[in-house]
Amino acid sequence: MIQLSRTDSENIDFQNLVARLDADLAQRDGNDHAFYDQFNKITDIKYALVAYENDKPVGCGAIKEIEPGSMEVKRMYVLPHQRGKGIATKILLGLELWAKELYYKKCVLETGKRQPEAIALYMKNGYVVIPNYGQYSGVENSVCFEKMLL
């Protein structure tokens, strides 16, 4: 059974999962990795979730305020051998619930076009493609999404 634990960027399990995520993204992004990496530092993240199965960390995600009323979903990752079990959806829904509890109206996010499984996850969970925002404006390999929180 998957258990979600609310934490922050000081959590060692969160840090270790993010290190695995960064290694995966470095391979996928190739020469573009340094550009994306500068926007994905985890220092001072106040809202992070770690998913556990049998007390072992298997996935993570985080949210941070991007503007008043909007949270940005960050650092979504599930260990490769744990994929296909719905863990990422549980993490995403947990982050959305947390954002709602904090009175945010929407979640936005950016992912890379080289991450088709992430794109499928967000679309399956009601996210819609929006024009690339902020630092991702004009970036060919980025796709941005948003979801209004009811």
The mean pLDDT of 121-129, rounded to a whole number, is: 98
Q: Which domains does the chain have, with CATH numbers?
A: 2-148 (3.40.630.30)
Residue 5: is its pLDDT beyond 90? Answer: yes
pLDDT category of residue 141 using cuts at 50, 70 and 90: confident
Average pLDDT, the chain: 91
Query: Considering only 17-21, 30-34, 51-55, 118-122, which range has the smallest mean pLDDT?
Result: 30-34
User: Tokens representing 64?
Assistant: 């941070």
What's the rounded Cα separation, in Å, for the pair 30 and 21? 14
What's the rounded Cα separation, in Å, for the pair 55 and 46? 22
Residue 39: is its pLDDT beyond 80? Answer: no
pLDDT the model gives residue 101: 98
Residue 8: is its pLDDT beyond 90? Answer: yes
The mean pLDDT of 86-104, rounded to a whole number, is: 98
pLDDT the model gives residue 28: 61
Overall size of the chain counted in residues = 150
What's the rounded Cα separation, in Å, for the pair 48 and 62? 4
- What DSSP string describes 118-131? HHHHHHHTT-EEE-
pLDDT category of residue 13 using cuts at 50, 70 and 90: very high
pLDDT the model gives residue 31: 63
pLDDT the model gives residue 35: 56
Residues 143/119, Cβ–Cβ less than 8 Å: yes
Please tell me which residue, 60 or 24, carries the higher pLDDT value: 60
Pairing of strands 56-67, 2-7: unpaired
pTM: 0.91
